[in-house]
Amino acid sequence: MNKDEIKHINWMYNRLTSVHKENPNVDYMIRFKEIIDKQLTLCDVVSSFITAEDEGNYFVVNTDDLDEIEKGSTVYLLETYPEDIHLFKDKNDDEFWISADDVDRKE
């Protein structure tokens, strides 16, 4: 798996557990997370510049590649996750999972 594929399946896991309220403690979700963690270790993914201390701060979307939100949009960091995909909300209070690579700190 390449880095983008790992980030995507990690996004799926986070969405299943956070948005769809899938129980992370059932056998198949535990195994799913173990596979993700192993792949992250194998690829030696570098940790994001975003940390838990950034929760509550604003960022700007820096890519046109997101279907749900436009480049240049300001988003608010709700919650951080260790695999570089974090939970943000926009001015309409819509929530989005966005990769750390796809946002910049708002000046």
Identify whether residues 101 and 61 lie together within a single domain: yes
Identify whether residues 38 and 68 lie together within a single domain: no
pLDDT of residue 81: 80
How many of the other CB atoms lie within 10 Å of CB of 100? 20
Q: Chain-wide mean pLDDT for the chain?
A: 84
- Write down the pTM of the prediction: 0.55
| Edge-to-edge strand ranges of the sheet holding 74-79 | 95-99, 85-89, 74-79, 58-61, 103-105
Pairing of strands 74-79, 85-89: antiparallel
Position 79 pLDDT exceeds 60: yes
pLDDT of residue 14: 86
Identify whether residues 37 and 59 lie together within a single domain: no
Position 1 pLDDT exceeds 80: no
pLDDT in tens, 8-56: 888 888 889 888 999 999 999 999 988 887 776 655 444 457 877 888 9
Residue 78 host element (H or E): strand 74-79
Residue that the structure tokens 């749900």 belong to: 68
Domain extent for 10:
3-43
Distance CA 3, CA 25 (A): 25
